[in-house]
Amino acid sequence: SAGAAGADQGRTVYTENVLKTRLSGFRFG
C-alpha cells in the first residue's frame, strides 16, 4: 500500500540521516 511504502521510505531516510550524523560525530568529534 502507499502508506506502507511511505513509511518504509521515511524509515530509510531517517536511518541515512542517523548514519550521516554518527559519521560526522566520529569524524569531527
* Three-class SS of 1-29: CHHHHHHHHHHHHHHHHHHHHHHHHHHHC
Q: What is the pLDDT of residues 1-29, one digit of tens each?
A: 678 888 899 999 999 999 999 998 877 65
d(CA 22, CA 29): 9
d(CA 18, CA 9): 14
